[in-house]
Structure formats: C-alpha cells, structure tokens
Structure 1
Amino acid sequence: MAYFQGSFGLVVICLLAWAISENRRAVSWKLPLAGIGLQLVIAALLLKLPVSRELFLWMNSLVLAIEQATEAGTKLVFGYLGGGPLPFEEPFPGAAWILAFRGLPIILVMSALSGLLFYWKILPLIVRGFSWLLRRSLGIGGAVGVSAAANVFVGMVEAPLFVKPYLLRLTRAELFMVMSVGLSTVAGTVMVLYATILGHVIPGVLGHILTASIISAPAALLIARLMVPDNGEATEADRMTPPAEADSAMEAIVNSTGMGIKLIANIIAMLIVIVALVYLVNQLFAFLPNVDDTPLTIQRITGWIFAPLAWLMGMSWNEALVSGELFGTRLVLTEFVAYLDMSKLPMGTLSERANVIMLYGLCGFASLPSLGIMIGGLGAMVPERRAEILELGFKSVLAATLATAMTGTVAGLLSF
C-alpha cells in the first residue's frame, strides 16, 4: 500500500507544482518523466547497489574520524567544554555537550577541507561531471547546470559564485532554478554536523545525507521548471569561477576557515534570533484556547499544513502529523533545528522507514532564515536583479519544499 501511496505522491507533487505554474500551457510533460526517472536512477545506484552499503559504512567511519579530529582541536582550545575531561560528574549522559563548543566547530574543519579539495581541483572535477549529467538529462543550460552541481557540495550562496559572470544574463526561469536548487540541497560543510546529530537514529547517515543532496538537485530543477517554465533559451557557461582563489594549499585552508567562521557566526545569530521570535509568537498563541488539551504553537499549525504532504511521501497518518511538524520547524527555524527535534523523538514515534523518508525530506535549506541569507548573497552578486530575486523568493522556498518532499518520497519507494 505504501508503495502505491508514494507513487501517487510523486504524481501529486508534480501536479501541485504545475497548478501554481506561471504558465501551465508552456510545460512539457516529458520534463516530469525525465526528472523523476533521473532521481530514481541516481537513488537506485546509490542505495541499492551492493557497493553502496560499503560506501556508506566507509563514509560513517569518515564522520567519526572528522569528529575525533575536530574534538582534538576543541579540547585544546575550550578544554572540558570542547570534549576534554570533565572537572565534575555529569547529571546525565550528554549533559556537558554544548552545541557551540562541540557541534559547530565541525563546520570549520569541513570548510577548510572543502577549500583544500577545491584548490587541488578535485571537487571542480566532480562538479563538471554532475553538471554534464544534468544538462544531458534535463536539457538545462550549462550555467544552471554548473551552479546546481556545485550546490551538492557547497552552500546556496557559494554555488552561484561558480557562474557569477553569467548571473546577469540568466533568464527568469534559470534564475529561479538557481534559487530553488540552492534551497533544496545542503552544503558539505554542514553534512557532517547533521550526521553527528542523527548518527544514533539512522545507520550510515552521512551517506544518506549526501545521497539526499545529490538527488534533490534534479528534483529542484524539475519543480522549478514546472512552476516557472523556460522559453527554450539556455545560458551556457564556458568556464567555472571558483568560490575562492588561492595561490597555495595553506592559503586555501586559511581563506576557507575564514568563510567557515562567518558561517558559524551566521548560524549562531540566526538560531538565537529566530528561536527567540518564534518563542515570542508562541507566547501570544498561549492566549488562544487549547486544541486537544495542548497549546497552539507555530510548529503545530504548520505541522497540520504539511501533514498531507508527509502522507503523500508514503507515511501513515499518525507519522505524517509528527513529520508535518518537523517540516514546519524547518520552514520557520531551519533544517538544523528540525534535525535536532527529530533526534529527540521518543523511540518508536517514527518507524525506521519513516525516519529515512524524513531524513531525505528535511535535507535542504528550504527555510525562511535561509531565504534571507540567499537573497542577501545573490543580491550582492547581481544587484541589478535584486527586485526579481525578491519577487521569486517565497516561491523558491515552496519549490524547494516540494523538491525535498519528492526526494523523501523517492527514498521511501526504494526502502522496500
């Protein structure tokens, strides 16, 4: 039953995107077939081949190695706050784990590693190959293909830097694709952080997160082209502009570490401010009557809105209500907080399959705080199109939400 439910969900998600399209008559129905087909093929290769399990186990050991390496640095700098021997006894396991000193520093290490891999031309080579696949399968232009491929590994602001000289020339549909893909994937700098949070929930979690980010790129391109159809024109990119230039490996590490510091500062600031604002709004909701003997909150209200979408992804209705609230948390508070909440769910709240679906479904920057960051970044890169970027902003969050839901649905279909 769940298999047919998920298949039905894929169709409905595409129909939803088509229903709110700017020009429904311009949509070619070959596009959904190609987009869904590409997602299923990539997901099957990454999830079903025997070698995939070994790859996921290897990546899990990589997560542990990076965690241990980061902890060696945080112990030196922060002492017991960073994982060193405690001068007191913990009241309960994990009581001394502090996000700012134990979780977020992983971003610094990952940022430095990604900068080094860019300098050594390893990641650009992978990006070119993925870009070629997207252009050949979905018929998109080279500029969008390069940006979308880069989004699998870097953030929503860094990826457009690859094609910064072409941003002014992109069509409206191509600009929307760049924005939608940016909000549908996650950066490599935070993948290990999410894997650390969910490591006890899902085995081989880093491999799943990377797979989710990969198959969300074609999903976002599909949804974006349904919502804002192109006119057949495509902007080609004859070269890639790296996100940061360096003359040596050490300079690449230093530059990328500096970018990591800014990213951590943004994350801390956004978490403090957004959580505080949501808390204040929830305090106002406290004056309203309870529903089912439970106070109303933004998360509950958005959870009811997203519950049907979670059901379409292949879950039972009880699981969909919980998952809908996680979707609402991501929209309002970012995917980071949603993953934290997911990791704290009581055992058995979601089935093993539902946990996998939600891991994939939440794997994207489809949130209002992230939209603000992207608008600021893209607006600075191409100020001439700032008004158009603002106009497409909320629509790109919706496109990214549908795209990650499609990714979760595909994962659910392949988990049988």
Structure 2
Amino acid sequence: MNYLISVIGLIIVLALAFLVSSDRKHIKIKPIILMIVIQVALAALLLNTKFGLVLIKGFAAGFTKLLDYANDGISFVFGGIANDGQAPFFLSVLLPIVFISVLIGIFQHFKILPLIMRGIGILLSKVNGMGKLESYNAVASAIVGQSEVFITVKKQLGQLPKQRLYTLCASAMSTVSMSIVGAYMTMIEPKYVVTALVINLFGGFIISSIINPYTVDPDQDILVIQEEEKQSFFEMLGEYIMDGFKVAIIVGAMLIGFVALIAGINDVFDMIFGITFQQILGYIFAPVAFIMSIPASEAVSAGGIMATKLVTNEFVAMMDLSKVADKFSPRTLGIISVFLVSFANFSSIGIIAGAVKGLNERQGNVVARFGLKLLYGATLVSILSAIIVSFVL
C-alpha cells in the first residue's frame, strides 16, 4: 500500500509541475525518467546498503570531528556561560558554522572546491539535459550557499535569459549550504541529511525541466567562473571567519523572531479558535504529507512541521520535529527529515532576489517577479525527495 501511495504521490508532484509549465510541448521526458531512477537508486544505496551506511557514517564522523574542533574555539571564548551538561542552541549549533565556513574558504583559496564543482557539474550536465552552467551552479549552491553562488557566475548573470536564470535560482533554493550541514546533523539524523543533499540536486533539475523547459545552444553553453579577488591566505581567513559569524548571527536572529512570532500567533489562535495556528497548517498540509506516504494518523502532525518550514525556515521546523520525534514512526521521521533539508521557504525569495540584484539590478527584478513560482518549484523538489525516500524506507 505504501508503494502505491508513493507512486500516486510521484505522479501528483510531476502533474503539479506540469500544471504551471511555461512550455509543455518541449518537456524532455527521457532525462526526467533517468534522473528519477538515479534518485531512487542513490536513496536505496545510502539508506539500505552496508556501503551506504559506511559512507554516511564516515561523512557524519567527519562532521562530528569538525564540530569538536569548532567547540574548542567556542569553549575558549564562551566557556562558563553554559552549565555542565547543557549547551545553548547558539553555541552548540550555530557558532560551529564559523569554523565550517573557514574550511570552505581554505578549499576555495587553494582552488580545490572550484575544481570539484566544475568536474561534478560537467558530469551532471551529461545526465540532466541542461547546460554546464546550470549543473555547475547546482553543485556550487550545495557547497557555498544560495546567495554566495551567484558571485561565482556573475560574469554571465547579465546575459542569461529568464529561463536559465530560473533554473539557477531554483537550484539555489532546493539545496542547502555545506556550511550549515553540521548544524542540521545535530538536529536530525545525519543519514537523512546526506541523502537529501544528494537527491535534491537531481530533484531541482527534474522539477525545473518540467516547469521551465528549454534547450541550451551548444555554442552558448559556456561556463565562466568568476575568480575571487586575489587575497593573502590570512586575509581570506579573516573574511570567511566574519562571513561565517554573520551567517550564525543572522540565523540566530531569524530564529528568535520566527519562534517568538509563531508562539504568539499560536497563543492568539488558541484563545480565539481553540486551535493553534500550526495545527491549522497541519490540517492544510496533511494531504501533502499523505501523498508522501505518511500514515493518515501522523499526517496532520507531519503537515504542521512541513508548513512551519515553508512559512519560517528549516531550523524552526527541525526544532519542532525534535520535540515530537518520539510520536512518529521511524519511517515517517525519515520522510519528514528529508523534506526539511532545503532552503525552500518564503524568506529565501528575498535572499536570492537580493543576492542577484546586488550583482545585476535588472536580473534581480526578474527573479523577484517569478519569486512565488520559484518557491512553488522548490517546494515540489522537497516533496519529490521525500517521496523518493518513501520508496526505500
């Protein structure tokens, strides 16, 4: 029965993308089918095989070690603030972002990351039926982040037609930055974080290929990566340290605002209607949870967490999930966890549009105009990834 619901859910997601397609006659079916098969195969490999278990354990162990290193620096500066056995969210989850950001900077400085991103991007372009620029951008988004990635392609940004610009922005919203993966792993199981990272790459191309089909002229399929301004090693370290700290502060500020706002709205709704705002959202999103093959008995609670992610951000939703995780079956917990690992929320529209506008005002206005369609597509990517995982759990 679960498989049947998952198949129906997959068809519904593809149909919802088809419904808003800008050019239904030119949708490329073969690459879409191939990428769905790859998604299922990768999800099965990572979640259901010994090899996948070893890979994920290695990845998680690596990030755990990095977080330990980060905690050495945090303890030196903030030691004594927390009681023994306790660690405030900001110290244990957000501040390690600073250290991860530094590592990304080091790999960027020595040209290791650009080489990896370019290589994987070229391989992806052989599969997805899109251009090298789109494939590189998807990989880069998953490593350097949804706003920073546009800096690396800014030489081409002004010449891109809106179809290709949509795909670039959709990839940025459908993935997550490597700098905050460690933070996610402290809140949900690492195996679901890793799985979502991998299959979201393909999910972004699948949904974009349906919503926004186009063919790239081989003569125009040129990848021009913006070289970073030459800096000394220590100049680079200082810049990435400050960038990581800014990210931690911004995420912390957003959490303070969103968590407080949701608590206030829930209280008001409870007093007036006898039901909280999140419970209402849960009922609205319950059908979405159901087509993700989540049992009807858990669909309302799952829907509330999914909706929270959409209207606030993934951190708030992950915090809510951790509070009620024992109420869900392991399978449901895995499906929801994969859904949460992306930047698909309303605030990302402003972040991406602002990032593009800072580099090219005209293109930034174009992004702002298709902002809701962008969020619609990225949300479908999250649902698609959750459905793919439901096949193998």
1:121 aligns with 2:104: no
Correspondence for 1:285: 269
Alignment match of 1:173 (pick from 144, 147, 163): 163
Paired position in structure 2 for 1:261: 245
Distance (Å, rounded) in 2 between the aligned partners of 1:400 and 1:15: 15
Q: How does 1:87-98 map to 2 (within 5 A)?
A: 96-98=86-88
Residue pair 1:142, 1:237 contacting (<8 A) in 2 also: yes
How many aligned residue pairs are there?
392
Q: Which residue of 1 aligns with 2:64?
A: 64
SS of the residue 1:336 aligns to: helix
The 1:304–1:133 alpha-carbon spacing in structure 2 relative to 1, beyond 3 Å, is farther
2 CA distance for matches of 1:356 and 1:78?
A: 34
| 1:65-123 Cα deviation digits (max 9, x unpaired) | 12221221111111122x5xx3xxx7xxx6x4212222211100110111112223322
Which of 212-221 and 125-134 deviates more?
125-134
Superimposed CA distance per residue, residues 254-298 of structure 1 (whole angstroms, 9 cap, x where no aligned partner): 2211211221222122223333444444455345422xxxx231x
Q: Which whole-Å deviations, capped at 9, do the CAs of 1:165-197 have from their partners, x for residues lacking one?
A: 111222222111111111111111110011012
Equivalent position of 2:152 in the other structure? 162
The 1:49/1:21 distance shift into structure 2, 3 A limit, reads same
Aligned residue type for 2:3: Y
- Quote the RMSD (CA, aligned, Å): 2.2
Take 1:335 and 1:139, find their aligned partners in 2: how far apart are those partners?
A: 30
2: CA distance, partners of 1:414 / 1:124: 33
Quick check: 1:152–1:214 contact (8 Å CA) kept in 2?
A: no
Are the aligned partners of 1:166 and 1:237 in contact in 2 as well (CA < 8 Å)?
no
Aligned equivalents of 1:99 and 1:65: distance in 2?
18
Contact preservation (8 Å) 1:288, 1:296: no
TM-score by length of 2: 0.92
Q: CA offset at residue 410 of structure 1?
A: 1.3
- Residues 63 and 196, structure 1, Cα contact 8 Å, conserved in 2: no
> Is 1:366 the equivalent of 2:344?
yes
Opposite residue 374 of structure 1, the aligned amino acid is I
Equivalent residue for 2:138? 148
Deviation at 1:232, TM superposition (A): 4.8
Matched, 1:15 2:5: no
* 1:124-143 equivalences in 2 (<5 Å): 124-143=114-133
Letter in 2 for 1:271: L
> Mapping of 1:242-257 within 5 angstroms?
244-257=228-241
Is residue 2:217 matched to residue 1:239? no
Instruction: Give 5+ residue unaligned stretches, structure 2.
Output: none
Instruction: Judge conservation of contact 1:17–1:223 (CA < 8 Å) in 2.
Output: yes
Question: Do the aligned partners of 1:135 and 1:141 also contact (CA within 8 Å) in 2?
Answer: yes
Tell me which of 300, 303, 317 is aligned to 1:338: 317
Shift of 1:231: 5.1
Partner of 1:152: helix, strand, or coil? helix
TM-score (norm 1): 0.88
- How far is the alpha carbon of 1:346 from its aligned partner? 4.8
Q: Distance in 2 between matches of 1:275 and 1:168?
A: 38
Is 1:314–1:412's contact at 8 Å kept on the other side of the alignment? yes
Q: Per-residue displacement from partner, 1:198-232 (whole Å, max 9, x unpaired)?
A: 2xxx3xx1x43133112102211211221222255
Whose helix fraction is larger, Structure 1's or Structure 2's? 2
Instruction: Give the aligned residue type for 1:386.
Output: G
Q: CA deviation at 1:135?
A: 0.9
Tell me the CA shift for residue 248 of structure 1. 4.1
Cα distance in structure 2, aligned partners of 1:131 and 1:265: 31
CA displacement at 1:7 relative to structure 2: 2.2
Q: Which moved more, 1:274-283 or 1:112-121?
A: 274-283
Please state if 1:390 is matched with 2:368.
Answer: yes
Runs of 5+ unmatched residues, structure 1: none
Instruction: Please say if residues 353 and 365 of structure 2, whose CA atoms lie closer than 8 Å, have aligned partners that are also in contact.
Output: no
Task: Select which of 184, 193, 199 maps to 1:215.
Answer: 199
Q: Is the 2:32–2:209 Cα contact (8 Å) retained in structure 1? A: no
- Distance in 2, matches of 1:160 and 1:39, equals 26
**Structure 1 residues 29 and 59: CA distance shift in structure 2, 3 A:** closer
More displaced stretch, 43-52 vs 5-14? 43-52
**Structure 1 210/160 Cα, relative in aligned 2: closer, same or farther at 3 Å?**
farther
What percentage of aligned pairs have identical amino acids?
Answer: 28
Choose the corresponding residue for 1:321, options 279, 294, 300. 300
* Structure 1 position 409 matched with structure 2 position 387: yes
- The alpha carbon displacement at 1:247 in A equals 3.7
Residue from 278, 283, 290 that aligns with 1:304:
283
